[in-house]
Structure 1
Amino acid sequence: MDFRLGNMTLIPLAFLMSVMLKNCIGQGYEPSCPVTETPDQTTEICFCIPESGEIFKWDIDCNFRGYGPNMPNFLQTDDVIGKLDFRYNSINHIQSYAFRNIPGLRELNLAEQHPVGNVSTLTVAPGAFHGLINLESLTLIRNRIENTTQVINPSTVDGLKNLKELYFFDNEIKKIGALAFAGLVNLEVLNLNYNYIASIHVNAFVGLNRLKKLFLTRNKLTRVDPGVFSSVTTLRQLFLNENQITEVAPKAFNGLRNLTDLRLNKNKLQSLDNMVIVGLDKREVFLHIGRNPLHCDCELKWLRSLEITPSGSCGTPKELRGESVVSFPTEDCGRVTAESSCIDDCPSNSGNKNDAFICALFSLAIAIAVPL
């Protein structure tokens, strides 16, 4: 029996399931749910969802089942498990090689573990995820992970060379150490929002050769230093909004030629040096600087040289409060802007002091020659 809606045919889910199982049985294999154990007699067994395709696999839902304190080793099967949802359990510890029996796993969700007793953190042993050679997405949100409470180090996510998405937000992380994610060579999305990160090592992101999105929203950063992001040249979106940033160093984003979305809104910036955009593509990047106490004067006139109008408004002086950062009056600023002050042309990195000195004199001559 089928049900028609316009040109679409809706087939009952039960019929689809029976067809999938029939196909498997017809090939001499009768699938059964690989999860047969529960934490206790009162807990409902995990829910198994079969998926057919070129390879038969299971999606397993084990959330709210009361597992703990260790990650169970009940998943011993020759079947391919595509997704394991293990949210809202009571895991205190994830031991080394905890998932070695399910190497085909592609998506693992360990969010919001709520350990029992006096234990308030989740410990992740070195090599905990070893063997997950096909894992593409790992979610560890809202866990106070013990060996990342102070600093993220390489052992936390070691061995996940095919991982594409890592969700690590809301874990009370304070620092990101050197080479913290060096083994994640295929990572494209890294979410570190809602932590306490105040320090990032200059080599923290080395090795992330395919990273496209980096989320650092709502942390404790107070400044952006040069070199921190220079190794992630594939980056397209960088979220630094809702921190406590008061200063962005010149050339802080140098090398990020593919960046199109830079978010610095909701910080404590009063000024922004024109050298900040060195290394960025001024024709492509959208600079978000709204909700900052920006002081609008001639030092911000360079923002008008960007092809995409940046968002943001003046915080001071009082008479300009609320004015757009690209439309406040600049009649008294002369004509020296980001495009006429040798930002891209001065040979400051050439090592030739004479050339740099001549260029500086040339810029000064222009400034003097322009009628006020």
Structure 2
Amino acid sequence: MRFTNGTLFWNLIILLLFLLHLRPTNALRDTCPIGCQCDEDTQKVTCEGQQVVTLPDRLPSGYEQLLIRNSSVRTIEKNSFRKMEKLTQIEFENNPNLGTIEKLAFKGLKKIRLIKFTACPGLTELQKNSFSGIQNQMGLKIIFERTPIHRIDGHTFRHAQNIRELTISGEELALSRHCFANINQLDFLTVSGVVLIEPEIFTNSTRFHVVHFKNSQFDIPPNTFSSLSHTSHLLIEHTKIPSIAPDAFSGLTTIQVIELHACQLGTISARAFANVENLGELKILRNTIGDLDTSESIMSRALKTRVEENTLECNCGMKWMTSVEEMSDINFCSTTASFRSIRSFVKAKCSHISKQVSRKSNHLPSTSGVSSTFSNVVLFSFILSRVFDDFRIFL
């Protein structure tokens, strides 16, 4: 009996020690990280202030949102959120010291819906694989606002999937070869502030819905959009484009619309759009265009082509446009020709020049004399042949 009571006593002591040991662990786990505030109503953790120099390594159970604001955090390290699998939203706001996102920084986040950077002036480059390995199961938005990204390296978003929106508002932004490569679905890509695009930025990427470049200044080299396929709308607007190279859009397949809208275009080279396979519509609308001297500049396999309300530097080399009456009536010359339509310009200027050339040619004595003599000889021969034919019939 004593042995039984003694055993029971020690069992109770062991159980009590276990409970005492377990309680602080659970309490620690549910405690808000140092330097952060936890809002139970919104289930949001806010880490704010210059004293915050690193990201928290855990969050209280049940919390799904993390905001890092006005902090001294410099780097988002590899696997920074490996213990926060329930996170649905991560925001970095006004973090002047943040300069590096390491590869696989967001690896393993399966429920993430939003990653946003706002006013992070030190973040100027997105490195290779920094957004790889996220494994999100829901549509994800990745947004950069007032954050002066200068360069996106190749394979930055490698094997990213199910991205609902990717918005990058950069400054003097260079897009490296393969920077948007190996993405397996992206609904809306919006990029602004671009000054350089290297060829083949979309290698092995599929299922983009809308690709939108705006408020930028760049040349379009050959094969820029190669491998981009099954896209609803490729839109470039409010952008200065000094030159569009031959084969600039080659390698695109199954595109519903390619549109250049409200841009300043220098030269559209011949065959710039020629090798796009399965193109629904080519739209060149409301642009100012410096050089469009050949019909091959807008030649494509598109089922429909709209070249409308553009302002061009008119010259007689654009006479080819008058063969398409609608096109020459709804595109206009610049101020040097008083904004008249292309047809009106060609009729007033180029036809008049042609008549002058014709009149001058008629006054060349040697040419006109030979021409007249040759015509008379031909006519005389024809009359003689008819006379001999009639004579044979009579006989």
Give the alignment's Cα RMSD to 1 decimal.
4.0
Rounded Cα–Cα distance in structure 2 between residues aligned with 1:112 and 1:310: 47
What residue identity is the alignment partner of 1:36? V
- Structure 1 position 97 matched with structure 2 position 104: yes
Please, which runs of 5 or more residues in structure 2 have no aligned partner?
A: 1-39, 53-61, 153-171, 353-395
**Residues 131-175 of structure 1 deviation map (CA, whole Å, 9 limit, x = unaligned):** 1344554333553324345742256445532322222212xx432
Residue 130 of structure 1 and its aligned partner are, at CA, apart by 0.5
* Shift in alpha-carbon separation, 1:310–1:176, aligned structure 2, 3 A: farther
Equivalent pair of 1:138/1:167 in contact (CA under 8 Å)? no
- Structure 1 position 252 matched with structure 2 position 252: no
What residue identity is the alignment partner of 1:174? V
Residue 217 of structure 1 and its aligned partner are, at CA, apart by 3.2
Rounded Cα–Cα distance in structure 2 between residues aligned with 1:154 and 1:103: 28
What residue identity is the alignment partner of 1:225? A
* Shift in alpha-carbon separation, 1:178–1:255, aligned structure 2, 3 A: closer
| Match among 159, 163, 166 for residue 189 of structure 2 | 166
Equivalent pair of 2:178/2:202 in contact (CA under 8 Å)? no
Q: How does 1:321-332 map to 2 (within 5 A)?
A: 321-325=338-342, 330=347
| Match among 294, 297, 302 for residue 323 of structure 2 | 302
- Structure 1 position 239 matched with structure 2 position 256: no
* Shift in alpha-carbon separation, 1:285–1:62, aligned structure 2, 3 A: farther
- Structure 1 position 292 matched with structure 2 position 309: no
What residue identity is the alignment partner of 1:291? T
- Structure 1 position 79 matched with structure 2 position 86: yes
SS at the partner of 2:229? Answer: coil
Further displaced range: 151-160 or 217-226? 151-160
Rounded Cα–Cα distance in structure 2 between residues aligned with 1:202 and 1:240: 20
What residue identity is the alignment partner of 2:109? I
**Residues 271-291 of structure 1 deviation map (CA, whole Å, 9 limit, x = unaligned):** 442223322446x33224523
Residue 229 of structure 1 and its aligned partner are, at CA, apart by 0.7
Q: How does 1:285-364 map to 2 (within 5 A)?
A: 285-295=305-315, 298-304=319-325, 311-315=330-334, 318=337, 321-325=338-342, 330=347
What residue identity is the alignment partner of 2:147? N
What residue identity is the alignment partner of 2:120? Q
Rounded Cα–Cα distance in structure 2 between residues aligned with 1:63 and 1:287: 48
Highest Rg: 1 or 2?
2
Match of 2:234 in 1: 214
Match of 1:38 in 2: 47
* Shift in alpha-carbon separation, 1:37–1:108, aligned structure 2, 3 A: closer
SS at the partner of 1:132? Answer: coil
Residue 77 of structure 1 and its aligned partner are, at CA, apart by 2.8
Match of 1:138 in 2: 142
SS at the partner of 1:276? Answer: helix
Rounded Cα–Cα distance in structure 2 between residues aligned with 1:322 and 1:33: 58
What residue identity is the alignment partner of 2:191? F
In the alignment of these two chains, the number of paired residues is 277
Rounded Cα–Cα distance in structure 2 between residues aligned with 1:71 and 1:311: 53
Equivalent pair of 2:50/2:71 in contact (CA under 8 Å)? no
Equivalent pair of 2:181/2:201 in contact (CA under 8 Å)? no
What residue identity is the alignment partner of 2:229? N
Match of 1:110 in 2: 117
What residue identity is the alignment partner of 1:188? H
Rounded Cα–Cα distance in structure 1 between residues aligned with 2:82 and 2:45: 9
Match of 1:275 in 2: 296
Match of 1:69 in 2: 74
Deviating above 6 A after TM superposition, structure 1's stretches of 4 or more consecutive aligned residues are 31-34
**Residues 216-237 of structure 1 deviation map (CA, whole Å, 9 limit, x = unaligned):** 3344421212211122231513
* Shift in alpha-carbon separation, 1:202–1:141, aligned structure 2, 3 A: farther
What TM-score, normalized by structure 2, do the two folds share? 0.56
* Shift in alpha-carbon separation, 1:131–1:250, aligned structure 2, 3 A: same
SS at the partner of 1:285? Answer: strand
Equivalent pair of 1:298/1:333 in contact (CA under 8 Å)? no
* Shift in alpha-carbon separation, 1:299–1:212, aligned structure 2, 3 A: same
Equivalent pair of 2:106/2:134 in contact (CA under 8 Å)? yes
Rounded Cα–Cα distance in structure 2 between residues aligned with 1:263 and 1:287: 5
SS at the partner of 1:211? Answer: strand
What TM-score, normalized by structure 1, do the two folds share? 0.59
Question: Which of the two has greater strand per residue?
Answer: 2
Equivalent pair of 1:225/1:249 in contact (CA under 8 Å)? yes
Equivalent pair of 1:217/1:240 in contact (CA under 8 Å)? yes
**Residues 273-318 of structure 1 deviation map (CA, whole Å, 9 limit, x = unaligned):** 2223322446x33224523333476233134265xx8743223764
Equivalent pair of 1:179/1:205 in contact (CA under 8 Å)? yes
